[in-house]
């Protein structure tokens, strides 16, 4: 009976975790779509401004174009070097005492979840593993009871 109650509790937790992850997934699609519109619009605006500067003074225009290209390359390199996914940008971990690791400073920073979505992914994997252990245990395995 305890095993059935634990299985039900884990299934409810899994449903809640998956629902939260779906919300982050929707927010990720919205953010990605917004960036796919804003980045080309900003590039067009920068090209128009560079053209106006080239007409005013070629040196100003070349400097502006080089600065924009350098900034864009640096931003792209920085984002790729971090190795973050879109969902990690959307679901940043809270700061301060709301950080899940605030009261556990001994945990190695490389082992910490990078975002709330990564933490939810870990929790889903843990719950699914426990659910499969309980399900396998109930089929006559260790700790399970068989009903005749």
| Domain spans of the chain, in order of start | 2-137
Each residue's pLDDT tens digit, 75-129 = 888 878 877 788 888 887 766 666 666 666 777 766 667 788 888 999 999 999 9
127 touches 20 (CB < 8 A): no
Q: Is the pTM of this model over 0.75?
A: no
Q: For the chain, report the end-to-end CA distance as a whole number of angstroms.
A: 16
Q: Give percent of the chain above pLDDT 90.
A: 26
SS3 115: strand
In the predicted model, what is the mean pLDDT of residues 16-29? 95
């Amino acid at each position: 009976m305890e095993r059935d109650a634990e299985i039900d509790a884990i299934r409810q937790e899994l449903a809640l975790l998956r629902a939260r992850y779906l919300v982050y997934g929707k927010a990720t699609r919205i953010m990605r779509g917004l960036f796919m519109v804003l980045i080309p619009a900003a590039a067009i605006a920068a090209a128009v401004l560079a053209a106006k500067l080239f007409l005013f003074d070629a040196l100003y225009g070349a400097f502006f174009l080089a600065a924009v290209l350098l900034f864009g390359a640096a931003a792209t390199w920085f984002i790729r070097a971090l190795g973050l996914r879109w969902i990690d940008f959307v679901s940043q971990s809270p700061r301060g005492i709301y950080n899940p690791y605030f009261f556990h400073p001994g945990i190695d920073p490389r082992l910490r979840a990078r975002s709330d979505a990564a933490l939810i992914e870990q929790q889903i994997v843990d719950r699914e593993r426990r659910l499969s252990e309980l399900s396998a245990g109930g089929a006559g395995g260790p700790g399970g009871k068989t009903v005749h």
